Amino acid sequence: MSEALFAELRTIVGQSNVLTDADMRATYENDWLRQWDGETPCVVRPSSVEEVAAVVRVAAAAGVPIVAQGGNTGLVGGSVPRAGAVLLSLQRLTALGPVDTLALQVTAGAGVTIDALQQHARASGLDFAVDWGARATATVGGAVSTNAGGSRVVRFGTMRAQVMGLQAVLADGSIIDELAGLPKETAGLHLPSLLVGSEGTLAVVTAARLRLVPWYRETAAALVACDSLTDAVLLLSRLRQLPNLDAVELMMPEALSVACEFLGVKPPMDPREAGAFVMVDCAALTDPRDELIELLADLRGVLALGNQREALYRMRDHITIAIGTLGVPLKLDVAVPVAQLDRLVRLIHAAAPGEARVIIFGHLAEGNLHVNIVGAGDASAALRDRVLQAVLDLGGTISAEHGIGVAKVDWLERQKGPVAYGAMRAIKKALDPKNQLNPGVLFASAPRRRRAARG
Ligand code: MLT
Ligand code: ZN
């Protein structure tokens, strides 16, 4: 990268917001689970959409690609810099607009964390529905770009269902401003919908107009022990009858053990005495505990209220970090029709080498499994392909909420087929003809650097 470009970037965002020292760049160049690393000549930290647009423009003029990054909590290498790209950190775009209690919406900058967004909405008696363990660090921009899901999808849908409008910078530096948030609009193509889940490859998302939901502050949770995963799946149709069902999380016994060991707490139920655990959460404006008490009457389970519910969530939220302390896992985020979950899990266990630890958890209602295999060594790459092929054979998806990133780029066409994948490529070419934005993500193009044979 030329000195002239460094100078231009400093003029746009200020000297202190162009980070070139290796020490300063390091946290942006590695992902938090040490699965992926890369290198960037500089991290650029704009504070407004105009600055983002100017950075994109000068980088494009110099032919230097851009990788956008939010909280860097991704799991598929999508925001780790590659191929000499400028790392565009959106963490300073933290503007939060007033909560619109008439429309039930708010406008949030790409760098606003999910936690800050939720607190902001709650101050007005509302809530932001998408939620998962990394809420304190993960940002709105990253959640939009990956179409994040989390634990409340069963009730409110994924990020796509929350996005009412977007502001984004195109590859030539022009700005799309669609933040009106009109609940009904059939005026041509809906670009915000196109950009959700596009993983920074079509535009840089700088702000989002987001749907808010009531803040259901009365909560009750339960942990249910099922004899098998098949029983857990059968339980799901009963759970769907609960009027205030808010989350249905699946934890295979190993996941429960690993999280409790990591936190140094006693598991709420003995992991050896179940084939699968289901964590059920209900949330409402009035105390929903009775519906869970009734449910538990003929099940093996524990009710978790107040601090106990918090402890349950703490355990659920720490599974990923706990697994990370065991080694760098082969990590897959897949979904199959729920009726096929048991087949998939059996296949994974049969395919994994005997010495490996298989730790599976996820979001039961969507058939979404987070598959973590620690210690598969040289077998990792073949194992990954075996599992992904099985997922497709069972009518599933190779990514349910983490995205494709660079991790599964070689599998996307197999899932989509040549026609749909060709259409995606055509859209990419139309919006980013020089492949400036996040090259190598979704569409293979740049060399990838994988630390080991990972997901
Ligand atoms: C979760 O549900 O906790 C996240 O998707 C993280 C993960 O899969 O590790
Ligand atoms: Zn998840």
Q: Is the CB of 320 under 6 A from ligand 1?
A: yes
CB neighbourhood size of 220 (10 A)? 24
Q: Helices 3-13 and 49-62 meet at what angle, rounded to 10?
A: 170
**Confidence at residue 450, expressed as pLDDT on a 0 to 100 scale:** 53
List per-residue pLDDT tens for the chain, 455 residues long. Answer: 899 999 999 999 999 999 999 999 999 999 888 889 999 999 999 999 999 999 999 999 999 999 999 999 999 999 999 879 999 999 999 999 999 999 999 999 999 999 999 999 999 999 999 999 999 999 999 999 999 999 999 999 999 999 999 999 999 999 999 999 999 999 999 999 999 999 999 999 999 999 999 999 999 999 999 999 999 999 999 999 999 999 999 999 999 999 999 999 999 999 999 999 999 999 999 999 999 999 999 999 999 999 999 999 999 999 999 999 999 999 999 999 999 999 999 999 999 999 999 999 999 999 999 999 999 999 999 999 999 999 999 999 999 999 999 999 999 999 999 999 999 999 999 999 999 999 999 998 744 445 554 54
CA of 418 to the centre of ligand 1 (A): 30
105/414 Cα distance (integer angstroms):
38
Atom 5 of ligand 1, residue of closest alpha carbon: 150
Tokens coding 144:
């939009």
CA of 252 to the centre of ligand 1 (A): 14
106/96 Cα distance (integer angstroms):
8
Strand order of the β-sheet with 300-304 is 300-304, 218-226, 276-284, 245-251, 357-363, 368-374, 330-335
Q: Could you identify the atom of ligand 1 that is nearest to the CA of residue 316?
A: 3
161/364 Cα distance (integer angstroms):
19
Q: Is the CB of 152 under 6 A from ligand 1?
A: no
CA of 320 to the centre of ligand 1 (A): 6
Q: Is the CB of 158 under 6 A from ligand 1?
A: no
CA of 220 to the centre of ligand 1 (A): 22
Q: What HEC string does 64-121 produce? A: CCEEEECCCCCCCCCCCCCCCCEEEECCCCCCECCCECCCCEEEEECCCEHHHHHHHH
**Confidence at residue 448, expressed as pLDDT on a 0 to 100 scale:** 47
Pocket test for ligand 1, best of 132, 135, 248, 250 (most atoms within 8 A of CB): 132
Contact 80, 67 (CB under 8 A): yes
Q: Is the CB of 370 under 6 A from ligand 1?
A: yes
Query: Apex CA 325: angle with CA 323 and CA 327, to 5°?
Result: 80
Q: Could you identify the atom of ligand 1 that is nearest to the CA of residue 319?
A: 3
362/192 Cα distance (integer angstroms):
27
pTM of the model: 0.95
CA of 279 to the centre of ligand 1 (A): 15
3-state class of 322 per DSSP?
helix
Atom 7 of ligand 1, residue of closest alpha carbon: 320
Q: Is the CB of 146 under 6 A from ligand 1?
A: no
Q: Residue type for 209, please?
A: R
262/272 Cα distance (integer angstroms):
17
State the ligand closest to the CA atom of 366: 2
Residue with tokens 């749909």: 420
Q: Is the CB of 132 under 6 A from ligand 1?
A: yes
Phi and psi based region of residue 371 (left: phi greater than 0; alpha: psi -120 to 50; beta: remaining)? beta
Pocket test for ligand 1, best of 32, 33, 75 (most atoms within 8 A of CB): 75
Residue with tokens 């983002």: 52
**Confidence at residue 354, expressed as pLDDT on a 0 to 100 scale:** 94
CA of 150 to the centre of ligand 2 (A): 5
CA of 369 to the centre of ligand 2 (A): 8
